[in-house]
Structure 1
């Protein structure tokens, strides 16, 4: 049976066709009379409910079904194990375990992929409570979402397997990205070489609750993992009431869900706006039901919060008092004593003063010690990231344009890294807009993680990146090394990203000349990084959201600080595949080896965005239309280029140039990196196309035409200058002569 057959016959975890909509004719949130409060052993608190009329809306509707003789609540066909109102979570037992199994009887590898789709529901995967787990020998597996590809490698060679340890030997783990509502687990078929077991051998990838997973060595080279969990793993989902921020939700009192008199609205922490409800401090219960939040009687706890005193409960709090003959000091009741004489009081006063002095001395000593520890920690980070080497090299090379910033400087520049200063988020970190004391606007990138290899080489890499000076590359102004993960400081580019211009311009027409200019600027920048810099630099994440635009639509390539220097030996090859869906080089996915031709492939996808105004990956599309590159290559093969071009640039006068750009994009998207052009060749061709477009009259002078185009560079399977250029010139001259 083919892999596709097993994929279709495998476990399909969830395909949610229901739509999460808060009904337009909203029923005020409250208790539904006659609705069951439990299903089996699981509490069902409102807004969840058994049957449609008992839930706040369809997104929270559950069914109470008997499974193997036990009543269990089901959300669609998924078992709900626990619901927490206070934490805004729901724990569910899912069948989303992707697996590949080797059957020695017929020497075949079978695959069963499973996925989770929570789009258009009130749920998303908790990045705090869950983890991506990969189990097996020689297994490279990925979790693919709409915006991330994250995975890891598990091997049985080298370190011994150990129960409870999941760090690459037989088992590996990866963090779940924030705000994920969809993922698909799959394997790199070319990597797995485990075909030595006498019995059925399986590898697995799944997303499951961290607290529920403990690795056992018996899981490897067997089906024990799947059998132990009976084909299901727990996963913790966050949920929210509606896709509205608290400020907006409160405006509509008829649909506002926080109806209890002692409830508060809590904004969601995911990437999309949303809210849920909690009881106010000092209260507990259900904030979604009228009078559902009840006062907590602190005085009835097992331990008296007032010690030996009298505890009196108050709404949302409590108060303490003492019995007759006692008074309260520092929260403790002590007996009232007779007033001592002056001579009796002197030792007491002296002891009190001495105690105060001692406390002050100890406090100052602790403060000095903490400051010293903080200073030593910052110094250790500075040295760990190669700051000493970088500082000495800067002095010797007189690199005055590059600066090593302190953490305090960047905190002041970004208003303590306020959320209001955030101008971008990505897989590598968060970017803040900042203003230095010198009134220079900057972009501060706060990275999330850094691997051990980059920690050791960070100072040297910064020195190389600081020497980059190109008009189309965002200038790296400095870095901060006294923190656990270094921060990068770039020049501020004011006009947003190319992604925003293409996909968020609300119908504003972008001329072909502007698009061609942006493409040429970007290609020049990548060509410089590959071959013009003192040390070749591979960008590694070329995409339209990493191309910034100034006020004149001049492009500047950014985020090269997260790139790597060109590797000089196999030990430097990346083994953990990460990137952005739609832009990833398929050859890189197979080999885990990043090259300059990987950047060429990603740039080819950017060219397609400029030509079509379509996104590189569309989860809602069908079949081949999910991937822009596959759809484009199919259109080129069937001679249907005009079908996918953006209507804003179609026309008889521009079709020849569009075909040339499309042909260039096609070569950039070759499956084999050897067949792709270099970025220098791409930049040269775009420059010639731009000049031809700006000077259509040069056909009247063949010598000028030859001077303008120059000698074309050799490219795989194509010739840079074709007869189409001359047809462009001829048509332009005819139009000028006829007054068009």
Structure 2
């Protein structure tokens, strides 16, 4: 797939409107280029408008926005021709300059059964917009899977998200319904520039296809407004045949990979050249900026004279009910009709002189002010009552009354139900400067509770389903009872908002992921690594065996293991945990997780068990031993997965070749490394029943820890770790990506 890089070459023409004459001059000077494209350049390709910065030809577009206009023959027998614009390999359907969006066509992925060969053949499409300034809009698109018993998912550098489309004979397929029966959909993560499509070919769907003549399953990342599901999509190839196997997808775009402040420093390349245009910085991970016309203007801000004044008065007779509407640059005025004057912004008839000429005017003004104040007070009281009622409804909806009563009866003084106002004060109204982590499931803010100066991490979740709402209060009470030295403490929650907020203790020294992969090759002793592994395993064993009811974590990874001020490991983030799990498997039709840590048995069956946590912990052990990341998408096909590389090395007795050089250089480590590697191998068994329990893993690591020649986190280990972490509070104020640091309760990669 071709990748695009770009810059720009434009000149800013300032224009200041002072007098009517200057308005006429400036507008006439800019008018010739107001059509939306550069003079002499094609304005259309077929039926598609081509506004600048897009263009057909190098002189008609900014670098990276060049389009081709391909001519194609029409339907058979008509002899007609039509033209279509293309951006690289993608057909362009429409372009929106004000919204910074472009609509293109992408390929549909398919998994089809051929009765002649009795085989299923996958076609797994991918799209790559890396380094092009374009990315997939999470607000406008969905991940869609169509078919009978079709399990498919989208994989990017940080996410694996998909769903299972089933066929239930008791529930007939319905037009327009994509909720799991014949069609399912999942949200697209933010800031995705690259993805690959995958099908789970081992999922037993081919039998169903043969019996019911439902031979194909489909997966696509597509515009959600364009999805109009029909039962015929399952029983025929209509969905794939639409537009020759392609569907529309909405892409966001930016002009350059610099901020507005940096871009203005070079006016020869600054793109917002029209008068009355403004520059907007990117609000996501993608760096860059785009331009738009100021309020009261419309048009194309990327060309000279592109932003033209909107005549607000034209066709809008309700703007000035008490006066005459007069359009002004960027707005309008409402002078009174002749014979009227303005009093407090309202046109009133001019009164004839009287004995007391000022009294009527003063009386009218005072009366009007009183009326306005009374109306404002009434509206304010009404809004406050409405807000209070909404808070009470949310509180009851999330099980607040149950939680409050059970806390009272159990005297759970360490767990608190916070008000929205308390958390707003603690986080400076959820200021962007307080953000310490982001993820697909929510945003985490660093806060300081008023009164006791306690630092906390406040997690604002993005969504919660109806089942979670009904069980939220009960689950919070269970999680609040967890008391383990190596598990992040849940201090409380806020229930008077639409989606509850969680309050955790604040952990200042970041995550194990950063300690392993962000230390720039500095030394970390085997003793220190073994202590972290043992403490983490002990915490997970507590969740599985000692918590009441037992808790399945569901997202064990190095970025969910935090390092506290005393350099102890603490397991965090229970966003995907299952409470009250039994020995029976947990089934989920919606699959999500983090690349490299997913239990292969879970991927194949959608059934999560306690042994799924064991597998994920085995990958964490590999990170500690090798200092390599779980997934390397840029490596060769057989070397992308760290677990695959490790198991192959174990089989060939070549583990030493992939170990971290620092621990290989330490004396008397060979026996301990070999035993840790054997333990990791057991955790990574393909079938869950062959893996040890977390209690067995913790006991094994505890025994190895006691057998080390020097005390773990002793002087040597502590000095090594302090050189990596610095002072305990040195990272407390840094804002980090969730791919590197998952601060207290935030799950990266969802």
The aligned runs of 1:81-100 (5 Å cut-off) are: 81-95=93-107, 97-100=108-111
* Superposition deviation, residue 361 in structure 1: 5.3
1:391 aligns with 2:404: yes
1:168 aligns with 2:180: yes
2: CA distance between counterparts of 1:239 and 1:446? 28
1:401 aligns with 2:401: no
TM-score w.r.t. structure 1 length? Answer: 0.85
Determine which of 124, 132, 145 is the counterpart of 2:156: 145
Q: Deviations over 1:584-630 (max 9, x none)?
A: 11111122222111111111111122222222122222202221211
The aligned runs of 1:241-280 (5 Å cut-off) are: 241-280=255-294
1:458 aligns with 2:458: no
| Structure 2: runs of 5+ lacking an equivalent | 13-36, 74-80, 712-750
1:48 aligns with 2:54: yes
CA shift in 2, pair 1:49/1:469, >3 Å: same
1: CA distance between counterparts of 2:157 and 2:299? 37
Alignment match, 2:596: 582
Q: Deviations over 1:294-353 (max 9, x none)?
A: 33343445658446844444333333323432334676756545457879988x999998
Q: Deviations over 1:115-142 (max 9, x none)?
A: 2221222111111111122222233322
Alignment match, 1:558: 572
* Superposition deviation, residue 201 in structure 1: 3.1
Aligned alpha-carbon RMSD (Å): 3.0
2: CA distance between counterparts of 1:54 and 1:80? 17
Alignment match, 1:67: 72
2: CA distance between counterparts of 1:331 and 1:507? 69
1:283 aligns with 2:294: no
| Structure 1: runs of 5+ lacking an equivalent | 1-14, 697-740
The aligned runs of 1:20-39 (5 Å cut-off) are: 20-22=5-7, 27-28=9-10, 34-39=40-45
CA shift in 2, pair 1:172/1:689, >3 Å: same
1: CA distance between counterparts of 2:624 and 2:562? 14
1:321 aligned counterpart, secondary structure: coil
* Superposition deviation, residue 463 in structure 1: 1.6
1:224 aligns with 2:238: yes
* Structure having greater relative contact order (Cα 8 Å, sep ≥ 6): 2
The answer on whether the counterparts of 1:667 and 1:677 sit within 8 Å (CA) in structure 2 is yes
The answer on whether the counterparts of 1:29 and 1:56 sit within 8 Å (CA) in structure 2 is no
Determine which of 636, 642, 661 is the counterpart of 2:656: 642
2: CA distance between counterparts of 1:300 and 1:385? 50
Alignment match, 1:721: none
* Superposition deviation, residue 38 in structure 1: 2.4
The answer on whether the counterparts of 2:584 and 2:609 sit within 8 Å (CA) in structure 1 is no
The aligned runs of 1:605-684 (5 Å cut-off) are: 605-651=619-665, 653=667, 654-684=669-699
The aligned runs of 1:454-533 (5 Å cut-off) are: 454-533=468-547
Alignment match, 1:110: 121
2: CA distance between counterparts of 1:607 and 1:240? 41
The answer on whether the counterparts of 1:567 and 1:573 sit within 8 Å (CA) in structure 2 is no
* Superposition deviation, residue 357 in structure 1: 6.1
The answer on whether the counterparts of 1:137 and 1:221 sit within 8 Å (CA) in structure 2 is no
1:122 aligns with 2:128: no
2:562 aligned counterpart, secondary structure: strand
2: CA distance between counterparts of 1:563 and 1:28? 53
* Superposition deviation, residue 236 in structure 1: 0.6
Alignment match, 2:744: none
2: CA distance between counterparts of 1:605 and 1:146? 17
The aligned runs of 1:711-722 (5 Å cut-off) are: none
Q: Deviations over 1:436-480 (max 9, x none)?
A: 012000011111222333222222222221111111111111111
CA shift in 2, pair 1:40/1:672, >3 Å: same
CA shift in 2, pair 1:82/1:350, >3 Å: same
Q: Deviations over 1:357-416 (max 9, x none)?
A: 666556544443433332232222222222222212212221111111111111111111
* Superposition deviation, residue 262 in structure 1: 2.6
Determine which of 418, 425, 428 is the counterpart of 2:431: 418
2: CA distance between counterparts of 1:393 and 1:191? 45
